[in-house]
Amino acid sequence: MPDFIKAATKKAAGLARQTTLYAGNAFDRVFRAASLVQAGQTPFETLHSGELISLRYYPPLQEDFIELDGITIAVERKSHRTPVVIVPPLAVNMLIYDLFPQRSLVRFLRAKGFEVYLINWGTPTRAHSHYNFHTYLSDLLPACLDRVREHSGEKELTLHGWSLGGMFTLFYSALGKNSNIRNAIILGAPIDSHASGILGLLSQGLGGAANFVHKHTGLQMHDLRPHWFHSPGWANTVGFKLTNPIGSVMGYWELLIRLGDREFVTNHATTAAFLDRMVAYPGGIVQDTVVRIWLDNELSRGTVQIGNDKVQLNNINANIFAIAGSEDTMVTPGSAKRLMDHVSLKDKTFRVIHGGHMGILAGSKAPRESWLEIAEWLAQRSD
């Protein structure tokens, strides 16, 4: 057989293999995406399960070492005294905390010797539209923390809160000077929302319009039925992606040009499993968040109204480690850093790391840029 025919045959065979690979990856990504997802593999026990929420406990790891995005970490067998309770924001599913075996926050904290608990807020429906800040901070969150104390035998706790979970952590810690919160890890929590770039400017404008309407008609958003503000999961997914529309589009474009890379396709499906499965916001939470945090910007003055209680951030006694993302368009570093102005503690730390709103929690750079430092910081304050 002539050489040119052999070369053409070899090239055709290679092209056929490549086409088969691309087609197989595309089929799996579209029709069998669930089989590609790597998230949620760390075992846990359910300590409490109510009508809506549940509480998870992550038992000790069985292996001696874990790999964390290229870092080998020895699993510590001796546990620190103060347990860590992860307080998620609403609207997210819990996959974000156990996104990849090599990038799992719960697995990492467990390896570093912390007793790890996670609150799962569940999937609210319109029947939960009346749930607001007061519901979560006076009823649901305290019940979970009581169960953690009962299970762990420890009174003092560390709370780890991202986004709205960070605000819940701050509010609960400030509600009473004896809340028994020893440490608070706060990621991407808006304190001065009007300082958050375009969203801040939009909030200022809408806040001014709302004040004008109230002044001339007496009407306020809190006078309206919470049921009207129920935000379904699909709307939250769209809203989150619109905070970075270019990045969202480029993610799918990169998927198209890298369909031959099975690892990339698997990672894309895993991340999408979190982003595309966001859950609903209760209407009362939407009202409280929009009015108190964004329009009225109450936290910029160091206070926030929770039911009949006026929470003051300077009442917080917990040691604080706060983080903002340099590329976060929802909660800019300038917005998050204002927390340092309102807490009177000596033991308070603020860091800006690379990443957007999601990246600072579970992005590829988060383990090296913040997880290791947080673990060291907590270890010194948890025994």
Residues 50 and 17 in one domain: no
Residues 116 and 264 in one domain: yes
- Asked whether the predicted pLDDT for residue 307 surpasses 90, the reply is no
Q: Whole-angstrom Cα distance, residue 200 to residue 52?
A: 32
Q: What is the DSSP letter of 154?
A: -
Residues 15 and 122 in one domain: no
Residues 150 and 110 in one domain: yes
Task: Find the CATH number of the domain harbouring 371.
Answer: 3.40.50.1820
Residue 241, Cβ density class (10 Å: 0-12 exposed, 13-18 middle, ≥19 buried) = middle
User: SS3 of 303, please?
Assistant: strand
Largest CA distance in the chain: 91
Is the distance from CB of 232 to CB of 280 less than 8 angstroms? yes
**pLDDT for residue 141:** 95
Q: Whole-angstrom Cα distance, residue 306 to residue 69?
A: 40
Q: Which residue has the higher pLDDT, 76 or 93?
A: 76
Q: Whole-angstrom Cα distance, residue 104 to residue 107?
A: 5
Q: Which residue has the higher pLDDT, 368 or 345?
A: 368
Residues 113 and 140 in one domain: yes
Q: What is the DSSP letter of 192?
A: S
- Percent over 70 (pLDDT), the chain: 86
Residues 110 and 25 in one domain: no
SS (H, E, C) 317-371: CCEEEEEEECCCCCCCHHHHHCHHHHCCCCCEEEEEECCCCCHHHHCCCHHHHHH
Residues 18 and 96 in one domain: no
Which residues, 6 or more positions from 366, have their beta carbon under 8 angstroms from its beta carbon? 103, 353, 355, 359, 360
Reported confidence tier of residue 59, pLDDT bands at 50, 70, 90:
very high
Reported confidence tier of residue 9, pLDDT bands at 50, 70, 90:
low
User: Comparing 65-74, 111-120, 336-345, which segment has the lowest mean pLDDT?
Assistant: 65-74
Residues 90 and 14 in one domain: no
Q: Which domain holds residue 22?
A: 3-31
Residues 24 and 47 in one domain: no
Q: Whole-angstrom Cα distance, residue 165 to residue 119?
A: 10
Residues 118 and 162 in one domain: yes
**pLDDT for residue 208:** 80
Residues 8 and 82 in one domain: no
**pLDDT for residue 108:** 96
**pLDDT for residue 342:** 95
Q: Which residue has the higher pLDDT, 317 or 224?
A: 317
Taking only the tens place, the pLDDT of each residue in 249-295 is 667 677 677 777 777 777 766 677 767 778 888 999 999 999 899 99
- Asked whether the predicted pLDDT for residue 321 surpasses 90, the reply is yes
Q: What pTM was computed for the model?
A: 0.89
Q: How many domains does the chain have?
A: 2
Taking only the tens place, the pLDDT of each residue in 166-181 is 999 999 999 876 679 9
Closest CA to 339 of 362, 323, 358, 355: 323
